[in-house]
Structure 1
Amino acid sequence: MTSGVSAQVLAHGVGGSTDLPVPLSFALIGAAWALTVTFAVVALAWKTPRFDPDKPGRDLPIWVTRAVDSPVLRWTLSLAAYLFAVWVAVAAVFGPSGSDNALPGVFYVLLWVGLVAVSVLVGPVWRVISPVRTLWRLLGMTRWETADRSTLRRYPMTWGYWPAAFGLLAFVWLELASPDAGSLAAINSWLFVYTVLMLLGAFVFGSQWFARADPFEVYSLAVSRLAPFRRNPETGRITAINPMDHLPTMPVRPGVVAVLAVLLGSTAFDSFSQSPVFRDFVDRHSASLPVLSEAWAASLLRTVGLVVFVSVVGVTFWAAARATGGVNADVRRRLPGELAHSLIPIVVGYIFAHYLSYLVERGQETMVRLGDPLGRGWHLFGLDSTDVVYVLSQNPSVLWTIKVSCVVIGHIVAVIAAHDRALRLLPRRNQISGQLAMMLTMVGYTFTGLYLLFGG
């Protein structure tokens, strides 16, 4: 494990752009396949919708549901995650400074990327393992909610997921645009503010605040729509389900497009911000703002770039959905939210394409640091720096293939999901022409994603 590489990574966050760039041939082949499949799906594939969120799925054995609902299991997972958070907090306060501390790796790698992997596999786990939710329960506040609801205010329906969207934007700002993303003080401050806001919001609005405003819970909820398991709404049992039937169950609430725009736009900006062109631009202009220090001037320029990327994703998707032909004004108004779930496969695909090597390799480094939280030379759990295997970095052709495959597959799944949903919403005469704007927008996302991976 090389400390120089780790320092570079943690100073940036988890930016995947320090991987070897995707070869141009890979990018072009991937884009060509994406474009071909897109046109084939829209023009030649099924003419009637095939995916139904109301399909019951196949019930798993009853013991699975009993185990998932078991208070013993849920408390065990919650307390284990809470103790893990305490362990990390001890390392953050009393451990070594800089890149040798475990906190940045836990925050930027295990949490931000690992949460996607786990949620896609098993479902929205953050609502169970959230340390803040666990603290809320340990303080006995759930009993307080039940005993005296009159002290709580009803969560405003118009807020929807907007608080979570701003929370996610705050996270990606810290990672990608702040003056020092790897600073322990900055991460600790962010986590302190996050914890206080979550507890204060829950005190005012009850536990529903976590489900709507916790950025990590909404993040986990969104990507879990691709999980092959869900709860049968009629029987309450855990069922195995086609992820394409599960995907449209993403709740349509205000701010859902903003959440997905932040996730996709920030990941794209992460690639772009590491390009020589943008770095040269920041270096040239950060010294020309005399009111700010050079570090904060550079942060301001990166902040503008981040907001532009997020806004472009949100505005283009909203405009493409609203441009759908053949519908009345009421349906047109609802279309961005009704089609928002189709962005989830692109988000998941691009996150894995961008950050997979960091989850696999920097995740190992982080676990080694957690085995020595105070920097005393301990080897708890038998972990040692020599145990880290840089399997993806040592096999760049495999890494390139995974990158392009994730982007292309995510795009194809997204187009299929949007097409199937459009078949339910659009009149028959507009089922092809009405999708052209959305199809071109998604193709544009794919070309842009592959170009940024290549240009990184």
Structure 2
Amino acid sequence: MRALRFLTVAAAAFIISPAPAYAHGFGRSQALPLPYWLYIFGINAVILATFVMIALSMEHRPTGGTYPRLDLLSVRPLRVLLTGRWLPAALRLLSVALLVLIVLCGLLGNQDPASNLAPVFVWISWWVGFSFFTALVGNIWPLVNPWEILFERASGPARRLGLRSPELRVPYPAALGVWPALVLFAAFAWVETVYEGSSNPFNLALLILLYSAITWTGMAVFGREVWLRRGEAFSVFFGILARFAPTEVRTAGACKGCDACRISGECVNCYECFARAAPGHREINLRPPAVGLGLPERVPPGQMTFVLFMLAIVTYDSLRETPLWTASGIPPTAGLLALPLVFLGLYLGFVRLSRRVSRSRVPPGRLATAYVYSLVPIAVAYQVAHYLSYLLVQGQAAIALISDPFGWGWNLFGTAGYRVHAVLDASLVWYLQVALILAGHILAVYLAHAVALRTFKDPLPAARSQYPMMALMVFYTVFSLWILSQPVAG
């Protein structure tokens, strides 16, 4: 407890210390604003796609949680690679080594953010790059989470020696849900988008140590699996992104006694059960993108709020750089707190309108939790569209810094002299941005249609209920295009 108090006081002291401000935690997005003609084209394409999807939805009824999938473990070379011991062990060792390296770089290294690996790795390579990987490939965070690995390693010797387990397993209050994870994620978002010292290596190291102490305390009090599922911010965040991914882990048959499986009705992306299952009952599947967002399940209110907060933060991180927002003079912290509330209010308002238009007796709360995942494709598409050039251009700084992580003049791998250069042509970036936003919108509309048919059963009220939700999606998509069309202020 003394260590935790010390870290809290130390982190607070550095939070109020002055430091240079950087957008996105470190550096600025390099993407040029969309040309006006392409912005208008994007708006018209979104509206046209919406009407086409409405017309097609009248002819097609999605089939619950059934979708085509290919088990990668049925391919022998992939089975040998994915089920062998060396690949998971190597990834887990690398993850822990990187955590230790980043903390040491922050505490001991050169405090110039451009000369230290810690800010570049945390804000670009991990936060942006790993988020992209999770959404576009799959979720390996349960495998490489360094806090879980270190806690598990510390627990092993105690069990073997017959000592008391570090897990007290205090019953987790059901009312808490994922609210602790949301609070921690909100704090992380504040550090990324508001805190002026977020690029300072020493500050980052202290904040990582503070988060480590909180995470290990949660695991010790409530149990490792319980805290990872409900209290660890990044496990919840990457778990939501993984629903969009084209891969999944699946255990044959729903598990007994598993909260995650009881909620979904199937054992999909339940990593605890996957780890415990017999090898013959495990699957690692390829599947169509975004189908994990449309699976029939009960979404708790806390999870719904977490999703909406994610969408708001993705938007706020870019909106705050527009000339209109800069000229408004809104304090950054106030904006960060207000925008999620605006998103929540708008969403619940459109849900109530959807219920009224459909003339249904389905409770508003059930509708709100049912529709929320259908907005995720727009947010993922916007995130990739906005930060792709940021990752590909400024992310190159890690190539030089990997040879000199502490900024001490080393050249371990011969890359210290590497210079950042442009990777994509500006016009190609523009076309990719509009294509990504349009694809995300189409996926969102389809998912909303699937949810409506599953919720209302009768096609007529289901069709009526979709009009307000599609209006909300058009607004969100057009708003995202508008942000992309704005120059970066300052």
* TM-score, scaled to structure 2: 0.80
Counterparts of 1:143 and 1:339, CA distance in 2: 45
- Tell whether the 8 Å contact from 1:16 to 1:271 is kept in structure 2 after alignment: no
| 1:346 counterpart residue number | 378
2:48 is the alignment partner of 1:33: no
Residue 174 of structure 1 deviates from its aligned partner by 0.9
Q: Of 434, 438, 447, which residue of structure 1 is paired with 2:469?
A: 438
Distance 1:226 1:277, change over 3 A: closer
Counterparts of 2:130 and 2:152, CA distance in 1: 22
Distance 1:168 1:323, change over 3 A: same
Relative contact order (alpha carbons < 8 A, sep ≥ 6): 1 or 2 greater?
A: 1
Counterparts of 1:449 and 1:225, CA distance in 2: 21
Farther-moved stretch of structure 1 (255-264 vs 344-353): 255-264
| Equivalence map 1:2-21=2 (5 Å) | 10=22, 12-14=24-26, 17-21=29-33
- Tell whether the 8 Å contact from 2:20 to 2:197 is kept in structure 1 after alignment: no
| 1:178 counterpart residue number | 195
| Equivalence map 1:33-182=2 (5 Å) | 33-55=45-67, 57-62=69-74, 63=76, 64=78, 67-99=81-113, 100-140=115-155, 151-182=168-199
Secondary structure, in 3 states, of the residue corresponding to 2:485?
A: helix
RMSD, aligned CA: 2.8
Residue 149 of structure 1 deviates from its aligned partner by 10
2:244 is the alignment partner of 1:226: yes
Farther-moved stretch of structure 1 (246-255 vs 425-434): 246-255
Counterparts of 2:293 and 2:413, CA distance in 1: 38
Q: Of 419, 438, 451, which residue of structure 2 is paired with 1:408?
A: 438
One-letter amino acid matched to 2:403: G
Secondary structure, in 3 states, of the residue corresponding to 1:455?
A: coil
| 1:205 counterpart residue number | 222
| 1:295 counterpart residue number | none
- Tell whether the 8 Å contact from 2:314 to 2:383 is kept in structure 1 after alignment: yes
One-letter amino acid matched to 1:277: L
Secondary structure, in 3 states, of the residue corresponding to 2:218?
A: helix
Residue 349 of structure 1 deviates from its aligned partner by 0.7
* TM-score, scaled to structure 1: 0.86
Residue 172 of structure 1 deviates from its aligned partner by 1.6
Distance 1:367 1:256, change over 3 A: farther
Farther-moved stretch of structure 1 (420-429 vs 383-392): 383-392
Distance 1:238 1:262, change over 3 A: same
One-letter amino acid matched to 1:49: R
Residue 8 of structure 1 deviates from its aligned partner by 8.0
Distance 1:434 1:138, change over 3 A: same
One-letter amino acid matched to 2:97: L
Residue 154 of structure 1 deviates from its aligned partner by 2.6
| 1:423 counterpart residue number | 453
- Tell whether the 8 Å contact from 1:17 to 1:271 is kept in structure 2 after alignment: no
Distance 1:225 1:314, change over 3 A: same
2:310 is the alignment partner of 1:263: yes
- Tell whether the 8 Å contact from 1:12 to 1:182 is kept in structure 2 after alignment: no
Aligned residues: 431
- Tell whether the 8 Å contact from 2:24 to 2:123 is kept in structure 1 after alignment: no
Secondary structure, in 3 states, of the residue corresponding to 1:431?
A: helix
Structure 1 residues 123-178: Cα deviation after superposition (integer angstroms, max 9, x where no partner): 22111111111111121269759986993123333322222222221112112112
Counterparts of 1:15 and 1:354, CA distance in 2: 14
Distance 1:183 1:377, change over 3 A: closer
Structure 1 residues 75-115: Cα deviation after superposition (integer angstroms, max 9, x where no partner): 32111111122222222122211222111111111121112
Farther-moved stretch of structure 1 (395-404 vs 239-248): 239-248
Structure 1 residues 391-449: Cα deviation after superposition (integer angstroms, max 9, x where no partner): 13xx2111222222222221221111111221111222212211111111111101111
Structure 1 regions of 5+ residues with no counterpart?
Answer: 1-6, 286-300
Counterparts of 1:106 and 1:349, CA distance in 2: 23
Distance 1:276 1:229, change over 3 A: closer
Q: Of 399, 402, 412, which residue of structure 2 is paired with 1:370?
A: 402
Structure 1 residues 306-335: Cα deviation after superposition (integer angstroms, max 9, x where no partner): 222222222222332343334755543222
Q: Of 207, 228, 236, which residue of structure 1 is paired with 2:282?
A: 236
Counterparts of 1:15 and 1:251, CA distance in 2: 39
- Tell whether the 8 Å contact from 2:166 to 2:220 is kept in structure 1 after alignment: no
Percent identity, please.
28
Counterparts of 1:15 and 1:414, CA distance in 2: 31
Distance 1:340 1:385, change over 3 A: farther
| Equivalence map 1:278-357=2 (5 Å) | 278-282=325-329, 301-325=331-355, 326=358, 329=361, 331-357=363-389
